[in-house]
Amino acid sequence: MPTLQITLPETLQQFALGRVAELGLDSPDQYFEQLLEEDRCRKRDDCYMEKVREGLASGPPIPVTPGFWDKIADEAEQECRRTVVQ
């Protein structure tokens, strides 16, 4: 796995180490991985909500069939996957 080295001020380093201990994690790597995954999920959710807003503003309502929402969710997920780095 590639390595990423970061430099933190002493106060943030101590905070990060404290959070590692509080959360019962094995290392700061796990803490930062968790933070990054949470951020990626927020970005994905923001993308989904933007698609919902676009849809609401796209025109008059249309009838939907039982598979309609599954199709819409699949299309939105595919588009958001292209937007959010995996």
Closest C-alpha to 29, from 15, 38, 16, 41: 16
DSSP category for residue 85: -
Residue 71 belongs to a domain? yes
Residue 2 belongs to a domain? no
Residue 3 belongs to a domain? no
The number of residues in the chain equals 86
Q: What is the pLDDT of residues 17-38, one digit of tens each?
A: 999 999 999 999 999 999 999 9
Helix (H, G, I), strand (E, B) or coil at 35: helix
Alpha-carbon distance of 78 to 22, in angstroms, equals 36
How many domains would you assign to the chain? Answer: 1
pTM comes to 0.65
pLDDT given for residue 19 in this prediction? 97
Alpha-carbon distance of 34 to 80, in angstroms, equals 20
Alpha-carbon distance of 32 to 15, in angstroms, equals 12
Residue 73 belongs to a domain? yes
Residue 5 belongs to a domain? no
pLDDT given for residue 61 in this prediction? 85
Question: How confident is the chain (86 residues) per 10-residue block, as mean pLDDT?
Answer: 92 97 96 96 93 91 84 87 70
Residue 66 sits in which domain range? 10-83
